[in-house]
Amino acid sequence: MSSQNQKSTRKPRDPDLAGAAVAMRWAAKRARRRAAETTGSVAVYKDGKIVQEKAGKGKSG
């Protein structure tokens, strides 16, 4: 199989899902910001488990 047949990024075929990834990143950023203002931690799914993570930790932006 050649590398020309494999694309690393694909756009969703369903127009309803076109902005889903952007919306999820925005929601995660907002949740971390809100958690920093209140409890200081946010629940995340990591390595098959739900864990509490400090609000400032992880991807931002």
Query: Strand (E) positions, 1-61?
Result: 41-46, 49-54
Report pLDDT for 27: 93
Report pLDDT for 60: 45
pLDDT digits (tens, 9 = 90+) for 3-55: 555 555 765 577 778 788 889 999 989 988 998 889 888 888 999 999 998 87
Name the residue ranges covered by the structural domains of the chain. 17-54
CB 16 within 8 A of CB 3: no
